[in-house]
Amino acid sequence: MKAVIQFIKGIEETTIPIINITRSTDGSTGTATFTFEDASIFYTIVSPESEITGMFLIDKEGTLSTRDINAKFIQGKPKTLQAIYIMKNAEAWDRFMRFMERYSDENDLTFIRA
């Protein structure tokens, strides 16, 4: 199973996000901010029953999710989708990083340390 991001269950987000990751100095918590410019979900025809209920990071280990999502509109049209995923402990950090390794391998992303 490949690593994917979804906003509506079953519909893969094809736009590659900019992802900023921060970690506390003691390594116990962290935050990942995903920014999608012109997210493909804005242009996907979905049924009226479909709604964005969160961001779902899905891979062979299971699903990570967040409901902290914001959309930015310019002249009434959706432009940017931002999601924040919070890691509350070291185990959550490790699990997130395993997802990111799989996701980045499949999408030719590069990790750059600050």
- For the chain, how many structural domains are there in total? 1
Instruction: Please state whether the predicted TM-score (pTM) of the whole model is above 0.95.
Output: no
pLDDT of residue 110: 81
Position 55: which residue type?
A: M
Structure tokens at 40: 């493909």
- Mean pLDDT, all residues of the chain: 91
Residue 72 located in a structural domain: yes
Q: What is the CATH number of the domain that holds 57?
A: 2.40.30.220
Quick check: is 114 in a domain? Answer: no
The answer to whether residues 3 and 106 touch, using CB atoms and an 8 Å cutoff, is yes
Domain annotation covers residue 34: yes
What is the domain range of residue 79? Answer: 4-105
CB 37 within 8 A of CB 15: yes
* DSSP code string of the chain: ---EEEEETTEE--SPPEEEEEE-TTSS-EEEEEEEET-GGGG----TT-----EEEEETTEEEEE--EEEEEETTEEEEEEEEEEE-SHHHHHHHHHHHHHHHHHHT------
Under the banding of pLDDT at 50, 70 and 90, the label for residue 97 is: very high
- For residue 46, what pLDDT band results from cuts at 50, 70 and 90? low
Q: Does residue 112 fall inside a structural domain?
A: no
What is the pLDDT at residue 33?
98
